[in-house]
């Protein structure tokens, strides 16, 4: 960690090629040049990840899928409870980040954690149904985010848990239990993040709330490094697939 490595990351976030013929190639072009400093910088940008993982209710023998799990950083937050889980699969479309996850699994000797190079909208696990599925700052990078949520819903067993933490903006009009953001916030952050193919949406949270029964909802703002003290809005949503669903 240091100013020079921050400068490198900022340079890549601003100047790196993040285009390509398809989504996978765009991710690879964006991340391959910054993967060495990814975890350190994102630790200060991606707020609430440990809190989201800590809020997941698990029972012994559960199977967890971390969609868009990248370097596997979030599994560290699970570590105290990791040994009660049957399996954890880190799914990601970007091989550069998955290679870091593979090294982490090897170094930490996590026998029940594996990686899968796949699209979150299509991934098929080896087990029948998942007990929990997480999306940590990945929904905003998945173009077909509604398909990703629908797919996660179909992979979860009845009563299964979804955990999401991500940037977002509110709708102009929100229900009384939700946070409302100012017009400036709603205009500024989606434009600022879109430069790096991160698409903040006012629809992610309402869609999650429409499909899952909310167990926890936390709406907050977190500092963005080198943005002069500005804070971007993020949420943590823990939801349950209805027990009577199939
Ligand atoms: C901002 S990173 C977050 C990584 C990790 N979850 C974390 O919290 O550090 C977003 C991740 O989503 C992955 N991703 C984007 N679109 C994806 C897709 N369609 N299927 C699988 N992974 C995807 C990216 O490759 C990247 O690893």
In a domain, 149, yes or no: yes
Using most ligand atoms within 8 A of CB, pick from 39, 141, 142, 145 the residue to mutate for ligand 1: 141
120 pLDDT band, cuts 50/70/90, is very high
Domain of 60: which CATH number? 3.40.50.150
**Would you say 100 and 108 are in contact if contact means Cβ atoms under 8 Å apart?**
no
- CA distances in angstroms from 74 to 19, 37, 47, 113, 212, listed in the order given: 27, 16, 12, 12, 22
Using 50, 70 and 90 to split pLDDT, how confident is the model at 15?
Answer: low
What is the average per-residue pLDDT within 135-144?
97
Distance 150 CA to ligand 1 centre (A): 17
Q: Which of 126 and 245 is assigned the larger pLDDT?
A: 126
CA distance 204 to 200: 8
Q: What is the pLDDT of residue 205?
A: 97
* Mutational test site, ligand 1, from 27, 31, 119, 149, max ligand atoms within 8 Å of CB: 27
Q: Residue 131 belongs to what domain range? A: 3-240
Tokens encoding 192: 């600022």
The answer to the question of residue 245 being in a domain is: no
- How far, in Å, CA of 171 to CA of 194, rounded? 18
Tell me the per-residue pLDDT of 177-223, one tens digit each, with 9 for 90 and over: 899 999 999 999 999 999 889 999 999 999 999 999 999 999 999 99
Domain count of the chain? 1
- Whether 108 is covered by a domain: the verdict is yes
Name residues contacting ligand 1 (CB within 6 A): 23, 27, 42, 46, 49, 68-70, 73-74, 91-94, 97, 119-121, 136-138, 141-142
Is position 120 within any domain? Answer: yes
């Amino acid at each position: 960690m240091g100013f020079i490595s921050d400068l490198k990351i900022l340079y890549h976030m601003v100047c790196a090629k993040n285009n390509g013929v398809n989504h996978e190639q765009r991710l690879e072009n964006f991340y391959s040049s910054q993967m060495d400093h990814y975890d350190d910088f994102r630790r200060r940008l991606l707020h609430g990840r440990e809190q989201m993982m800590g809020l997941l209710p698990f029972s012994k023998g559960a199977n967890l899928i971390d969609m868009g799990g990248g370097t596997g950083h979030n599994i560290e937050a699970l570590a105290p409870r990791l040994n009660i889980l049957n399996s954890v699969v880190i799914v990601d479309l970007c091989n550069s980040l998955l290679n870091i996850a593979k090294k982490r699994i090897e170094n930490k000797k996590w026998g029940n954690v594996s990686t899968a190079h796949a699209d979150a909208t299509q991934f098929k696990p080896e087990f029948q149904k998942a007990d929990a599925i997480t999306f940590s700052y990945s929904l905003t990078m998945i173009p077909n985010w509604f398909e990703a949520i629908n797919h996660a819903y179909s992979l979860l067993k009845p009563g299964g848990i979804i955990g999401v933490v991500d940037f977002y903006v509110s709708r102009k009009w929100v229900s009384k239990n939700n946070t409302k953001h100012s017009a400036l916030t709603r205009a500024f952050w989606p434009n600022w993040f879109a430069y790096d193919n991160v698409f903040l949406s006012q629809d992610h949270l309402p869609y999650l709330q429409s499909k899952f029964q909310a167990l926890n909802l936390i709406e907050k703002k977190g500092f963005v490094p080198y943005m002069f003290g500005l804070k971007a809005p993020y949420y943590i949503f823990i939801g349950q697939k209805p027990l009577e669903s199939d």
